[in-house]
Amino acid sequence: MLRWTAIFFVIAIIAAVFGFTGIAEGAASIAKTIFFFFLALVVITAILGVTVFKRK
């Protein structure tokens, strides 16, 4: 997921440099959404790893 976020971020930067603001805005929005989805999954996995899947 972080790879896709980085790809969309690079696309947004390149598009912004060349003046394609609509494409840059869309790619940045997609990158931000994927990044926050990734963070949510990391937090959920960490909480479950500490509580539910704790081995005795």
Cα angle 25, 12, 41 (rounded to 5 degrees) comes to 85
Reported confidence tier of residue 56, pLDDT bands at 50, 70, 90: low
**Does residue 55 lie in a domain region?**
no
Supply 3's token pair: 């790879």
**Does residue 7 lie in a domain region?**
yes
pLDDT over threshold 90, residue 4: no
The answer to pTM > 0.85 is: no
Q: For residue 38, what are the domain limits?
A: 2-50
Reported confidence tier of residue 1, pLDDT bands at 50, 70, 90: confident
**Does residue 29 lie in a domain region?**
yes
pLDDT in tens, 5-53: 889 899 999 999 999 989 899 999 999 999 999 999 999 999 988 888 7
How many CB atoms are closer than 10 A to CB 31? 19
Specify the number of domains making up the chain: 1
**Does residue 56 lie in a domain region?**
no
SS3 helix, strand, coil % of the chain, rounded to 5? Answer: 80, 0, 20
